[in-house]
Chain A
């Protein structure tokens, strides 16, 4: 009897020990889950903390014109907002006379299925793919560098395709500097690359030091299933070698750059105004001091102007960087008395000359350029002349 009780007692002990060990196992699992959630929260917080409010430009709505329901009704106006919904990026289309959105786009194709986009710091770029004068596509880039092409009409959003995933642990994509249609002349075409393509210009900011980079992504126009472009596929053009500086851009290097998915250049500074593309040259005003990952540069910082070749990020002038006396005012073109162009800083105090005798890129060779003449505008180009026969007999 006594021995049975002892046995029962020891059996209960064994059960309790097994339960305890199970609880310990679950507790361990629970702790791991909790810790990972905490780590995720800390990571999210660090990502958010790394994007101070000054990185974001005001998200102003775009007024877009779309094809009307019938040809007689004329174009319809819609407003495109790039909002943020619960920390995720969202595009919404509003009618001109209502605060209720017509359509919203929340789910985006990602490399591994549908998902959410990061907030859109860069405003989406409208496109008119068939040149009929109205918008039919949008290129959107989220903060982490994913680029989508979305069909859009007055009634709402259509098919969305992921064109590029430029996700990089160091860079956040904070602005778009426009999208341009490029046609390369025959001698400058690279093998296997369509001569006509779109070049998407983006501004990325480094989360650890606050420096900016200009990123140009080549989007092939007529590809049915585009290959996903990744950051590693972009050509790093931050440094210009001494050989390139002295002898010019070689044909091999040109082919390698034009044949790649794009290029990127670290600016060693922070952009203070949107870059402008003038006759194939990108001009950017850059603050080179008084900023870090949390604080944006102000007018009192040191400033310089960076000039890059649109297609190769190479040299157009004998140097890439020119000193600016201050960061006040906007960069504007100025027509000189002899018809040539100059770049000035236009502020309330007046105009300050930054760079005279601006150049335009020339298709004669990879780094050829010629003097830009503004007095040739307005410029007429004859596209076609054809004879029409009616009632011939």
Chain B
């Protein structure tokens, strides 16, 4: 009677150990899938962040907002140069950032844009 009790306990312990091993294996395999997907997810996230930045860029260049522009006193060197009195250059620094839904990833993109604008009053409209 006592022997059968020991055998039962041993069997139970064995089953418990087996359960632990199997569940650990399952957990580990899930982790590996996650880690395998992580790079892809990060890549997709980077792409989303860049797409957001580029759309913000096109919004900024089409909008007439003057708020974020840094006015620089001279235009950078170029080949087909204009007189300083005719053209004005402004520098726009645009930064966008994106945080993933689970707050695991954060990416920000910065751009420097140059706006060349003819000085008001120097160019007349055709009559």
Contact = CB atoms under 8 A, between A and B. Distances in A.
Interface of A: 127-128, 131, 133-135, 178, 180-185, 188, 196, 199, 276-280, 310-311, 332-337, 342, 344, 346, 351, 360-363, 374, 377-391
B21 interface: no
A328 to B, nearest CB: 16
B77 A196 contact: yes
A182 B86 CA distance: 16
B79 A334 contact: no
Contacts of B70: 133
Of the four ranges (under 10, 10 to 19, 20 to 34, 35 or more), the interface on chain B belongs to 35 or more
A390 B106 contact: yes
B16 interface: no
A336 B123 CA distance: 10
5 contacts: A181-B76, A381-B115, A382-B111, A386-B109, A388-B108
Nearest to A391: B106
> Which secondary structure dominates where chain A touches chain B?
strand
A277 B82 contact: yes
A180 B116 CA distance: 15
Given A363-B79, A384-B111, A386-B109, A336 B86 contact: no
B77 A181 contact: yes
Given A182-B81, A388-B95, 8 more contacts: A128-B72, A181-B76, A181-B81, A183-B78, A334-B126, A336-B126, A351-B127, A386-B111
Given A335-B125, A390-B106, A131 B113 contact: no
A360 B80 contact: yes
A279 B82 contact: yes
A218 B29 CA distance: 70
B73 A128 contact: yes
A388 B126 contact: no
Nearest to B125: A335
A258 to B, nearest CB: 12
Nearest to B95: A388
Contacts of B77: 181-183, 196
B123 A310 contact: no
Contact of A344 (B97, B107, B115, B124): B124
Interface string B111-123: 1111111100011
